[in-house]
Amino acid sequence: MESKRIIRSSAILLASIMLVGIASAALLSYFAEIKGTADIEQSILVDGQDYTTPVEYTINGIGGNTYTNGSFPVDNRADVAIPIRFSTEPTYKNAGVWEDASDAVRTRYMSTLELSSKDANWDVTSDMKAYLTYELVSPEFNYDLTATGLMPNTEYSLIYYADKPDRFVEWGGNNPGKLISTFATDENGSYTGSNSVNLGMNLPSPNDANIDEYNYCDSDGYTLCNGAKLWIVPSSDYTEPALTAWNPNTYLFETNLITYSDSSADDTLVAYKGVFDLFIENRFHPLAYPGKYKITTKVETTPVPM
Protein backbone atom coordinates (compact mmCIF):
# COMPACT_ATOMS: atom_id res chain seq x y z
CA MET A 1 0.00 0.00 0.00
CA GLU A 2 2.79 2.37 0.95
CA SER A 3 4.62 1.65 -2.30
CA LYS A 4 1.50 2.53 -4.30
CA ARG A 5 1.27 5.84 -2.46
CA ILE A 6 4.89 6.62 -3.31
CA ILE A 7 4.38 5.69 -6.95
CA ARG A 8 1.23 7.86 -7.13
CA SER A 9 3.00 10.85 -5.51
CA SER A 10 5.96 10.54 -7.87
CA ALA A 11 3.65 10.49 -10.85
CA ILE A 12 1.85 13.64 -9.64
CA LEU A 13 5.21 15.44 -9.07
CA LEU A 14 6.47 14.48 -12.52
CA ALA A 15 3.26 15.70 -14.13
CA SER A 16 3.55 19.00 -12.25
CA ILE A 17 7.12 19.49 -13.45
CA MET A 18 6.07 18.79 -17.02
CA LEU A 19 3.21 21.31 -16.76
CA VAL A 20 5.56 23.97 -15.39
CA GLY A 21 7.96 23.32 -18.25
CA ILE A 22 5.23 23.54 -20.84
CA ALA A 23 3.77 26.70 -19.31
CA SER A 24 7.23 28.47 -19.07
CA ALA A 25 8.01 27.74 -22.70
CA ALA A 26 4.76 29.43 -23.69
CA LEU A 27 5.39 32.71 -21.74
CA LEU A 28 7.09 35.86 -23.10
CA SER A 29 10.59 36.52 -21.89
CA TYR A 30 10.57 40.13 -23.26
CA PHE A 31 8.11 42.49 -24.96
CA ALA A 32 10.30 44.04 -27.62
CA GLU A 33 13.84 44.18 -28.97
CA ILE A 34 15.19 47.58 -29.90
CA LYS A 35 18.32 47.68 -32.04
CA GLY A 36 20.39 50.72 -32.99
CA THR A 37 23.32 51.43 -35.26
CA ALA A 38 25.70 54.39 -35.08
CA ASP A 39 28.15 55.91 -37.55
CA ILE A 40 30.22 58.38 -35.49
CA GLU A 41 32.48 61.10 -36.89
CA GLN A 42 35.44 62.63 -35.06
CA SER A 43 34.43 65.46 -32.70
CA ILE A 44 37.33 67.87 -33.42
CA LEU A 45 38.73 68.44 -36.89
CA VAL A 46 41.88 70.45 -37.66
CA ASP A 47 41.85 72.20 -41.03
CA GLY A 48 38.91 69.98 -41.91
CA GLN A 49 40.92 66.76 -41.41
CA ASP A 50 40.53 63.94 -38.92
CA TYR A 51 43.39 62.02 -37.27
CA THR A 52 44.01 59.87 -40.38
CA THR A 53 45.15 62.77 -42.60
CA PRO A 54 48.16 64.95 -41.63
CA VAL A 55 47.89 68.72 -42.03
CA GLU A 56 51.05 69.97 -43.72
CA TYR A 57 53.00 73.19 -44.25
CA THR A 58 56.44 74.09 -45.65
CA ILE A 59 59.12 76.52 -44.46
CA ASN A 60 61.96 77.78 -46.62
CA GLY A 61 63.88 79.87 -44.17
CA ILE A 62 67.07 80.94 -42.43
CA GLY A 63 68.41 80.05 -38.99
CA GLY A 64 67.68 82.74 -36.41
CA ASN A 65 64.34 83.70 -37.97
CA THR A 66 60.76 83.07 -36.86
CA TYR A 67 58.09 81.68 -39.19
CA THR A 68 54.34 81.52 -38.63
CA ASN A 69 52.20 79.08 -40.58
CA GLY A 70 48.43 78.75 -40.64
CA SER A 71 45.70 79.39 -40.09
CA PHE A 72 44.52 75.90 -39.27
CA PRO A 73 40.88 76.02 -38.11
CA VAL A 74 40.28 73.90 -34.99
CA ASP A 75 36.61 72.92 -35.23
CA ASN A 76 34.86 71.37 -32.24
CA ARG A 77 31.65 70.02 -33.74
CA ALA A 78 30.39 68.53 -30.49
CA ASP A 79 27.86 70.22 -28.22
CA VAL A 80 30.29 70.02 -25.29
CA ALA A 81 33.62 71.70 -24.57
CA ILE A 82 36.62 69.38 -25.05
CA PRO A 83 40.07 69.86 -23.45
CA ILE A 84 43.06 69.45 -25.77
CA ARG A 85 46.84 69.76 -25.58
CA PHE A 86 49.51 70.74 -28.10
CA SER A 87 52.88 69.04 -28.42
CA THR A 88 55.63 69.48 -30.99
CA GLU A 89 58.55 67.20 -31.87
CA PRO A 90 61.20 68.74 -34.16
CA THR A 91 63.77 66.44 -35.80
CA TYR A 92 66.79 67.07 -38.04
CA LYS A 93 68.13 64.78 -40.75
CA ASN A 94 71.80 64.16 -39.95
CA ALA A 95 73.69 61.69 -42.17
CA GLY A 96 70.43 60.08 -43.21
CA VAL A 97 69.17 59.67 -39.62
CA TRP A 98 66.40 61.80 -38.07
CA GLU A 99 67.66 63.16 -34.74
CA ASP A 100 66.05 65.25 -32.00
CA ALA A 101 66.20 68.99 -32.81
CA SER A 102 64.43 70.47 -29.78
CA ASP A 103 67.47 72.67 -29.09
CA ALA A 104 67.21 74.21 -32.57
CA VAL A 105 63.45 74.88 -32.85
CA ARG A 106 61.03 76.55 -30.44
CA THR A 107 57.31 76.31 -31.22
CA ARG A 108 54.40 78.40 -30.02
CA TYR A 109 50.66 78.01 -30.68
CA MET A 110 48.97 81.28 -31.62
CA SER A 111 45.59 82.68 -32.57
CA THR A 112 44.15 86.08 -33.55
CA LEU A 113 41.23 88.30 -32.67
CA GLU A 114 39.79 91.35 -34.41
CA LEU A 115 38.27 94.03 -32.17
CA SER A 116 36.04 96.66 -33.70
CA SER A 117 33.69 99.55 -33.05
CA LYS A 118 30.00 98.60 -33.31
CA ASP A 119 26.84 100.58 -33.96
CA ALA A 120 23.64 100.68 -31.89
CA ASN A 121 22.53 97.36 -33.45
CA TRP A 122 25.85 95.73 -32.48
CA ASP A 123 26.91 95.55 -36.12
CA VAL A 124 30.64 95.94 -36.83
CA THR A 125 31.73 99.31 -38.24
CA SER A 126 35.02 100.41 -39.79
CA ASP A 127 35.59 103.43 -37.51
CA MET A 128 38.00 101.80 -35.04
CA LYS A 129 39.91 98.54 -35.44
CA ALA A 130 42.42 96.50 -33.50
CA TYR A 131 44.10 93.18 -34.18
CA LEU A 132 45.37 91.00 -31.37
CA THR A 133 47.71 88.03 -31.93
CA TYR A 134 48.05 85.96 -28.76
CA GLU A 135 49.57 82.73 -27.50
CA LEU A 136 46.95 80.09 -26.77
CA VAL A 137 48.86 78.17 -24.07
CA SER A 138 51.48 79.92 -21.95
CA PRO A 139 52.29 80.84 -18.32
CA GLU A 140 51.75 84.46 -19.37
CA PHE A 141 49.27 86.02 -21.77
CA ASN A 142 51.67 86.95 -24.58
CA TYR A 143 50.31 89.16 -27.33
CA ASP A 144 50.95 91.66 -30.12
CA LEU A 145 48.42 94.45 -30.61
CA THR A 146 47.83 97.02 -33.34
CA ALA A 147 45.00 99.57 -33.17
CA THR A 148 43.83 102.41 -35.43
CA GLY A 149 41.10 105.04 -35.38
CA LEU A 150 41.13 105.61 -31.63
CA MET A 151 41.19 108.98 -29.89
CA PRO A 152 44.65 110.60 -30.17
CA ASN A 153 46.96 110.76 -27.16
CA THR A 154 44.55 108.79 -24.99
CA GLU A 155 45.10 105.97 -22.52
CA TYR A 156 43.14 102.80 -23.24
CA SER A 157 42.68 99.54 -21.36
CA LEU A 158 42.64 96.07 -22.89
CA ILE A 159 40.21 94.18 -20.65
CA TYR A 160 38.63 90.79 -20.17
CA TYR A 161 34.88 91.38 -19.94
CA ALA A 162 33.13 88.50 -18.13
CA ASP A 163 29.34 88.52 -18.37
CA LYS A 164 26.87 87.69 -15.62
CA PRO A 165 23.73 85.66 -16.43
CA ASP A 166 21.55 88.79 -16.80
CA ARG A 167 24.20 90.62 -18.82
CA PHE A 168 22.07 93.60 -19.90
CA VAL A 169 21.04 94.42 -16.33
CA GLU A 170 24.16 93.46 -14.37
CA TRP A 171 26.65 94.92 -16.85
CA GLY A 172 30.23 95.92 -16.20
CA GLY A 173 32.08 92.71 -16.97
CA ASN A 174 32.89 91.78 -13.37
CA ASN A 175 32.27 88.05 -13.09
CA PRO A 176 35.18 88.50 -12.45
CA GLY A 177 36.69 90.78 -15.07
CA LYS A 178 40.38 91.46 -15.54
CA LEU A 179 42.59 94.32 -16.63
CA ILE A 180 45.08 92.88 -19.13
CA SER A 181 47.08 96.04 -19.82
CA THR A 182 46.94 99.74 -20.61
CA PHE A 183 48.46 101.62 -23.53
CA ALA A 184 48.49 105.15 -24.96
CA THR A 185 47.69 106.07 -28.55
CA ASP A 186 49.84 108.44 -30.60
CA GLU A 187 48.76 111.72 -32.16
CA ASN A 188 47.01 109.76 -34.94
CA GLY A 189 45.01 107.56 -32.57
CA SER A 190 47.12 104.51 -33.38
CA TYR A 191 49.07 102.01 -31.30
CA THR A 192 51.41 99.10 -31.98
CA GLY A 193 52.99 97.07 -29.20
CA SER A 194 53.58 93.76 -27.46
CA ASN A 195 53.21 92.58 -23.89
CA SER A 196 53.39 89.56 -21.57
CA VAL A 197 50.96 89.62 -18.66
CA ASN A 198 50.58 87.17 -15.79
CA LEU A 199 46.80 86.91 -15.63
CA GLY A 200 46.77 84.10 -13.09
CA MET A 201 43.66 82.67 -14.74
CA ASN A 202 42.33 80.99 -17.84
CA LEU A 203 40.10 82.79 -20.30
CA PRO A 204 37.20 82.47 -19.85
CA SER A 205 37.09 82.24 -16.05
CA PRO A 206 34.84 79.57 -14.48
CA ASN A 207 31.95 81.93 -13.56
CA ASP A 208 31.70 83.67 -16.94
CA ALA A 209 28.19 83.20 -18.33
CA ASN A 210 29.70 83.09 -21.82
CA ILE A 211 31.07 79.62 -21.08
CA ASP A 212 27.72 77.92 -21.60
CA GLU A 213 24.75 80.25 -21.02
CA TYR A 214 24.91 82.04 -24.38
CA ASN A 215 25.62 80.77 -27.89
CA TYR A 216 27.31 83.50 -29.93
CA CYS A 217 27.35 81.40 -33.11
CA ASP A 218 23.55 81.67 -33.09
CA SER A 219 23.16 85.21 -31.76
CA ASP A 220 26.09 87.06 -33.35
CA GLY A 221 27.42 84.82 -36.12
CA TYR A 222 30.74 84.18 -34.36
CA THR A 223 32.77 81.10 -35.24
CA LEU A 224 33.48 80.23 -31.58
CA CYS A 225 30.15 79.80 -29.79
CA ASN A 226 31.46 80.08 -26.21
CA GLY A 227 34.53 81.66 -24.65
CA ALA A 228 35.91 84.97 -23.39
CA LYS A 229 35.27 88.56 -24.53
CA LEU A 230 38.15 91.02 -24.86
CA TRP A 231 37.39 94.75 -25.19
CA ILE A 232 39.42 97.94 -25.57
CA VAL A 233 37.97 100.89 -23.63
CA PRO A 234 39.23 104.32 -22.54
CA SER A 235 40.94 103.85 -19.19
CA SER A 236 38.82 106.67 -17.75
CA ASP A 237 35.77 104.35 -18.05
CA TYR A 238 37.36 101.41 -16.27
CA THR A 239 38.51 100.53 -12.77
CA GLU A 240 39.52 96.90 -12.36
CA PRO A 241 37.63 94.62 -12.44
CA ALA A 242 34.68 96.43 -14.07
CA LEU A 243 33.52 99.24 -16.30
CA THR A 244 32.47 102.33 -14.34
CA ALA A 245 30.81 104.17 -17.24
CA TRP A 246 29.09 103.25 -20.49
CA ASN A 247 30.25 105.07 -23.62
CA PRO A 248 30.06 102.33 -26.27
CA ASN A 249 30.80 104.65 -29.20
CA THR A 250 34.38 104.89 -27.85
CA TYR A 251 34.87 101.14 -27.32
CA LEU A 252 36.29 98.35 -29.45
CA PHE A 253 34.34 95.13 -28.94
CA GLU A 254 35.15 91.51 -29.68
CA THR A 255 34.17 90.15 -33.09
CA ASN A 256 34.70 86.59 -31.85
CA LEU A 257 35.30 84.85 -28.54
CA ILE A 258 38.65 83.44 -27.44
CA THR A 259 40.06 80.65 -25.30
CA TYR A 260 43.39 80.83 -23.45
CA SER A 261 45.14 78.46 -21.03
CA ASP A 262 47.40 79.69 -18.23
CA SER A 263 49.86 76.80 -18.48
CA SER A 264 51.53 77.64 -15.15
CA ALA A 265 48.54 75.81 -13.64
CA ASP A 266 47.47 73.50 -16.46
CA ASP A 267 48.53 73.18 -20.11
CA THR A 268 45.09 71.96 -21.16
CA LEU A 269 43.30 74.30 -23.57
CA VAL A 270 39.52 74.12 -23.66
CA ALA A 271 38.15 73.85 -27.19
CA TYR A 272 34.64 75.25 -26.91
CA LYS A 273 31.95 74.46 -29.45
CA GLY A 274 32.78 76.12 -32.75
CA VAL A 275 35.99 77.16 -34.50
CA PHE A 276 39.14 79.02 -33.53
CA ASP A 277 42.19 79.56 -35.74
CA LEU A 278 45.51 77.95 -34.86
CA PHE A 279 48.80 79.36 -36.11
CA ILE A 280 52.07 77.43 -35.67
CA GLU A 281 55.03 79.70 -34.90
CA ASN A 282 58.51 78.16 -35.19
CA ARG A 283 61.62 80.06 -34.12
CA PHE A 284 64.94 78.65 -35.34
CA HIS A 285 68.14 79.02 -33.36
CA PRO A 286 70.74 81.23 -35.06
CA LEU A 287 73.17 78.27 -34.89
CA ALA A 288 70.70 75.72 -36.26
CA TYR A 289 72.32 73.27 -38.67
CA PRO A 290 71.38 73.92 -42.31
CA GLY A 291 69.38 71.12 -43.83
CA LYS A 292 66.08 69.29 -43.56
CA TYR A 293 63.83 69.53 -40.49
CA LYS A 294 60.56 67.82 -39.68
CA ILE A 295 58.33 69.61 -37.18
CA THR A 296 55.42 67.46 -36.01
CA THR A 297 52.74 69.15 -33.93
CA LYS A 298 49.97 67.05 -32.42
CA VAL A 299 46.63 68.28 -31.18
CA GLU A 300 46.32 65.72 -28.43
CA THR A 301 43.30 64.29 -26.66
CA THR A 302 42.99 64.39 -22.87
CA PRO A 303 40.82 62.33 -20.50
CA VAL A 304 37.20 63.47 -20.72
CA PRO A 305 34.39 62.23 -18.42
CA MET A 306 31.22 60.92 -20.01
pLDDT at 127 over 70: yes
CA distance 82 to 232: 29
Please report the pLDDT score of residue 24 as a whole number.
57
- Torsion angles phi and psi, residue 210, rounded to 5: -75, 0
Pairing type for strands 124-135 and 293-301 reads unpaired
Query: Of the candidates 32, 223, 30, 250, which has an alpha carbon nearest to the alpha carbon of residue 125?
Result: 250
The rounded mean pLDDT for the chain is: 93
pLDDT at 165 over 90: yes
pLDDT at 225 over 90: yes
Please report the pLDDT score of residue 265 as a whole number.
86
pLDDT tens-place string over residues 244-296: 999 999 999 999 999 999 999 889 999 999 999 999 999 999 999 999 999 99
- The reported pTM is 0.89
pLDDT tens-place string over residues 68-117: 999 999 999 999 999 999 999 999 999 999 999 999 999 999 999 999 99
> Domain residues of the chain, as ranges?
44-301
- DSSP for the chain reads -HHHHHHHHHHHHHHHHHHHHHHHHTS-S-S--------PPPSEEETTB-TTS---------TT-EEEEEEEEEEE-SSS-EEEEEEEEEEEEETTEEEE-TTTEEEEEEEEEEEEEE-TT--EEEEEEEEEEEESEESSEEEEEEEESS-TT-EEEEEEEPPPSSTTTS-SS-SS-EEEEEEE--TTS-EEEEEEE--SS-BS-TT-GGGTT--HHHHT--SBSS-BEEEEEEGGGEETTEESS--GGG-BEESS-B-BEETTT--PEEE-SEEEEEEEEEEE-TTPPSS-EEEEEEEEE-----
